[in-house]
Amino acid sequence: MTAVDVLVIGGGPAGLESAYSLANNGYDVAVLEKEKNICGHLNQAHSLFPNFQNASEVRSAMIDKMTHPKISIHNDTEAIRIKRDIDKWGVETGSGKEFMAPALLLATGFKSFDPKYKEELGYGIYDNVITTTQFEAMCQKGSIVSPHGQKVKRIAFLNCVGSRDEKVGNHYCSRVCCINAVKQSIEAKKVLPEADIYCFYMDIRMAGQFYEELYRKSQEVYNVNYIRGRISEVSPTIDKRLHVKCEDTLSQTPMKITFDILVLMTGIEASLGTVALGQQLNISGEYNFAKSLSLHMADNYSSHKGLFLAGTCKRPLTLPEAVADARSAAGEIKNYLKTLKQ
């Protein structure tokens, strides 16, 4: 049994940032991370939008912060059961360990939509249909190649895969994939200046600082083609490239283009941990994201005393938003712990 001041479930950017902030305020914090490594989805990023900062810089800064003496990191530790005593939260983990603290922070984050549920896009059937995460890994390596060894002449990005799609049950916008597609199409152009890049969208949503500028730049400087229309069907060509069918809804023309790689901009869904713990704690809201007490007034609070929420376990957020939310959660926890002492 480990007793601390604050227990953080989830060692992604949000969990780590709040842990650091709380530790700086003198609290003992334990971070429970189910994976081998901390930093969550950031581990899969090569560069960050909108300024192309190297993700590894951000990662090392985060990992540095975790050397704080008041922080203990527990990898490979999945929170399975949460118990509540008076003013105390207890957590049992999959490996049988137990933790206890007066305050508990849920930072269980998101998972990417599994594109196998949209079979028409051919993910898992044609190996040159990949996800945005796999494409990021290619960028990391600096080589964008087709699995069949052909020279990559044309790449398609498809937005809103698993988002804004009533068929799969997700009506909401994941908010980050539009700008991420802009970023990735520029990355693609940087590696393969000769390649044609197409981006298929329903709406281009550029609501962040510098987003619109980047979108413009992608067209003016990098010649990325934006086509308003969803891809309806993907089929293989004889030489194992991809035939993509869609309609350009602006000019109302049906089109069929051949691509070497199709990148699916998969949306954000509540992670398995968010779903499981949210249901256990009875705080599951829309689409199984964790529900805060009040969006405008108590967004880091849950309906339980001493249980706080931070980051993308609540809804799709960009990295800076998630980190800022984590700091705000730390502030609320600090206040809460003070009132407990009195």
Q: Which residues bind ligand SF4 (CB under 6 A)?
A: 159-160, 163-164, 173-175, 177-178, 203, 205, 265, 267
To another protein, the closest distance from the beta carbon of 131 in angstroms equals: 17
CA distance 341 to 334: 11
Position 235 contacts another protein (CB under 8 A)? yes
Q: What is the DSSP letter of 238?
A: T
H or E stretch including 183?
helix 177-191
267: helix, strand or coil: coil
**Interacting residues of 57 by C-beta distance below 8 A, sequence separation 6+:** none
**Nearest to ligand SF4 of 20, 215 (CB atom):** 215
H or E stretch including 32?
strand 29-32
Which two three-digit tokens encode residue 140? 């990391």
Select the residue interacting with another protein from 36, 67, 167, 194 (CB under 8 A).
167
Out of ligand SF4, another protein, none, what residue 167 binds, judged by CB under 5 to 8 A for its kind, is another protein
Q: How many residues bind another protein (CB under 8 A)?
A: 18
Position 57 contacts another protein (CB under 8 A)? no
Out of ligand SF4, another protein, none, what residue 265 binds, judged by CB under 5 to 8 A for its kind, is ligand SF4
Position 169 contacts another protein (CB under 8 A)? yes
Out of another protein, ligand SF4, none, what residue 166 binds, judged by CB under 5 to 8 A for its kind, is another protein
Contact 265, 161 (CB under 8 A): yes
To ligand SF4, the closest distance from the beta carbon of 120 in angstroms equals: 17
**Nearest to another protein of 125, 250 (CB atom):** 125
Position 248 contacts another protein (CB under 8 A)? no
Distance between start and end Cα atoms, the chain = 26
Out of ligand SF4, another protein, none, what residue 104 binds, judged by CB under 5 to 8 A for its kind, is none
User: From the CA atom positions of the chain, what is the Rg in Å?
Assistant: 22
Out of another protein, ligand SF4, none, what residue 267 binds, judged by CB under 5 to 8 A for its kind, is ligand SF4
Half-sphere exposure of 297 toward its Cβ, with a 13 Å CA cutoff?
A: 3
Of residues 87-126, those binding another protein (CB under 8 A)? 117, 119-120, 122, 125-126
Position 166 contacts another protein (CB under 8 A)? yes
Is the omega angle on the peptide bond into residue 50 within 30 degrees of 0, that is, cis? Answer: yes
**Interacting residues of 86 by C-beta distance below 8 A, sequence separation 6+:** none
Instruction: Give me the helix-helix angle, 177-191 and 132-141, nearest 10°.
Output: 30
Matching residue, tokens 């960050």 = 48
Q: Rounded to 10 degrees, what is the CA torsion of 246, 158, 186, 192?
A: -70
Position 243 contacts another protein (CB under 8 A)? yes
To another protein, the closest distance from the beta carbon of 168 in angstroms equals: 6
Residue numbers of the site for another protein (CB under 8 A)? Answer: 117, 119-120, 122, 125-126, 166-169, 232-235, 243, 253-254, 256
